[in-house]
Amino acid sequence: MSADGPSSNGAGDVPTVLVRDGEGRQLLCFLEQLIPLDGNDYALLTPVDTPVCLVRISADDDGDDEVIEELDGAEPILSVADVVLQEHDLTLVRSAVTLTVSGELEEPDPEEIDEEIDDEDEDSDLYEMLIQFRAEGQEYGLFIPLDPFFVVARMDNGEGILVEGEEFERVQPRIEAELDERELGEN
């Protein structure tokens, strides 16, 4: 990656940006939009690899599955997920912002997604199960969000710094307003 800005991925396609979080973890993303605010360039990005979330699957049929947000103590569970994914020639990446899976994934069938949307409540998040496995006597799964997964980063010498906390709360509504304005300008 050059210090001049985002790099292209070789074929002249969408440029990519390496994003770092406060703990030094990295996530390679496609640059979707660049928004100048307050003398900084903010980037709206999507991960190059497939984002996934770890879910504890309820043993009860009518129990709620639980998304594991805090992954600090989940390493033994993620190690089991690593082994299961390797059987499918996939790799679990502990990257900035989210867990991702690299490798060739089958694309979901758009008709199946439409059926799932029709069957779900409007407010529910839509996920597709990638794998299910057992760890520490409990069922878990890695799920792919079907809604687009966006990352906001502040650009600094061609690299993205993850926007978190107060800075995110401050710039997020302004970025959304700018994107809405750009969309209206295209119509």
Is it the case that residue 22 has pLDDT exceeding 70?
Answer: yes
pTM: 0.77
For every residue of 31-47, DSSP letters joined together read: EEEEEEETTEEEEEEEE
Please report, in angstroms and rounded to a whole number, the separation of the first and last CA atoms in the chain.
34
Which two structure tokens, joined as six digits, stand for 32? 């979707």
139 pLDDT band (50/70/90 cuts)?
A: very high
What's the confidence (pLDDT) of residue 158?
87
Buried b (16+ CB within 10 A) or exposed e, 114-149: eeeeeeeeeeeeebbebbebebeeeebbbbbeeeeb
Which two structure tokens, joined as six digits, stand for 44? 């709206």
